[in-house]
Structure 1
Amino acid sequence: IVDDKIDDIQAALRFATNKAHLVIVTGGLGPTVNDVTRTALTEFTGIKLREHPTVLSGLARRFNTPADQLRPNLRRQALVPEQGRYLDNPHGTAVGLVFELDPWVLVALPGPPRELQPMVTNQLVPYLRSRFGVRQLGASITLRFVGLGQSAIDHTLRQKGLVPPDVIETSLFDGSRVDFTFTLPSDSPADHARLRQLADQIRAVFGDYVYADDGASLEEVVCRLIRARGGRLVVVEAASACSLAASLARAPSAAAVLAGAYVGPDEATLRQLIRVPEADWARASTAEQQLKALAQAACQHSRSDWAIVVGPRHSAPTSSSLNVGFKFPDGQWQVHQFSAPGSGEAALANLVTQVLDRFRRLLQPAPASAASSGR
């Protein structure tokens, strides 16, 4: 990541071109004064820019303005390399730019994901395939981790000497979920068997921190576990603002197990929404008992067997926490406490991951000590 400064971008380009013949830059192709990637690249490569009539006519149509009346900052986006090509952008105004400076290829792509991602799939990949040819992808396997940081996983892999020298290892993290992909150069049955053996060895070391090896999301794994045991799940949320239900609903198996969700700012609102009987609520003298009353009523009204109830946030001078209740078909009831340091999007995503991971572990066959924190 570099600043929107021509000198900084060019310094990064010098570093990158000393390492690779293909360099991809994202961002900085728009109409504002800070969008200087185009200028930085043309100065760096010495390749001049020219106004492309097709791109210009596309801008005119998008803004419903004759080309000669487009503002200069908009019209600048019609400039493409004389030595290279452009990549069409049906989702925005900034086309991708390809500077061909043998043996290097420098590619500039727009930054917004809704423009970047389809451009890579539909424009860049076909270009790179025709430019550099294709090679058969090697065998690979991805292990999905939760509850451990990327550096901690990598350190253990190194310390234990688990990854052979010829296996290529890459990783990607999203909050408290981490994917590690292991790839071999070739793709044969023997290669797949080696990677499966490697995955088994890694699982033996990390145990339940590995939640999938088939690409399934944490949400999908939870839905599969519920489906295997039978019944449907209802979700009741206060502090999590429907994040948990929304996350689960995106899982492919959700339609088979998710009965619905109730969302409100606090227990009192949820009680009215779910229509908890007055007598049951009167007997619920503690916060944990109120969560249980909400779970029982939600299961009754939605005809569900399982329930997750996320309570409201409780703030203290130095910390913030919340209780989450889990109801099982056999009547078992457990309450677990989670830290809740914030209410932004990242904090809610982290909370959802913590809750789903705890529920996953409760659903899996495990020693009795695994649930010792429940009450």
Structure 2
Amino acid sequence: MGLRVAVVGATGNVGREMLNILAEKKFPATEIIAIASRKSMGQKVGYGDKELTIVALDTFDFTGTDIALFAIGSSATKEYGPKAAAAGAIVIDNSSLYRMDPDVPLIIPEVNPGAIKGFKKKNIIANPNCSTAQMLVALKPLHDVAGIKRVVVSTYQSVSGAGAAAMDELFHQTKATFVNDPVEPDVFTKQIAYNVIPHIDVFMDDGYTKEEWKMVAETHKIMDPDVELTATAVRVPVFVGHAEAINLEFKKPLSDEEAREILREAPGILVVDKREDGGYITPVECVGDYATYVSRIRGDKTVKNGLNMWVVSDNLRKGAALNAVQIAEELVKQKLV
């Protein structure tokens, strides 16, 4: 028997990707409901070779819905997520609202699928931050073998992580520079076209941004609370695809050759690591793919048991929509729905 699945926020970047991925993966659903705010009611969105008509969130009754994929941000989720859960739908939430809730599991299926059973406390499962998701997919197989002691990560995050308005801002600023029009920041604090901005989310008292804090806190909840991690999160003028330069210090020796072989066998990862021109993956090349790509694997001789690598993934997919659908697939696989 198929499932009744709701996609909440179906007109946004992540919601549309959720619908695309559900169709691509032929998720076992007898009914897909596309939900958005009242202003989008009646609009059409694609689902495979079909079109779905948007229904309004504020009047939708979740009774009889098996899974609800939420991609509407924290404030709206705070209002409607518990209502959907109370009606019996298992909510898979892409916002940051529930990630640190001790009664809500924070899941990356390749990393901690066993924790998914914890959803029964609130009928809610949290999707991790995009930068955390791709990083931990790459780190977990290595951690299982050699034990990661410390992580230093610098992210190069695309503007799509900040939403459609951010993508528009990059487009318009890039165009403006060619015709000598003024470039006025709006979504971002500084010009993003032909620039990089070391500032994602709000600043905290210790000088780190909340995006950087998320990577630490979520790594501890998902993988291992004893791993030390420090991050610098940077927004770059790329439309889709996040990249990360990661430096690792292990408890046990691990050569670059061993790491390469471990990662080649790991789920969700593709290793493209040739020590030649173009022998690595960049954000442009990962767009539309399911995989997390790992390149530039090499030893770090400045620390004992050190390793460096480059990790790239489509942030709208593995960083958001794909991970949410994979959580739904895990629910089916474990016969929890």
What TM-score comes out, normalization by structure 1 length? 0.22
Q: Greater helix share, 1 or 2?
A: 1
What TM-score comes out, normalization by structure 2 length? 0.24
Bigger RCO (CA 8 Å, 6+ sep): 2
Task: Indicate the structure (1 or 2) with the bigger Cα radius of gyration.
Answer: 1
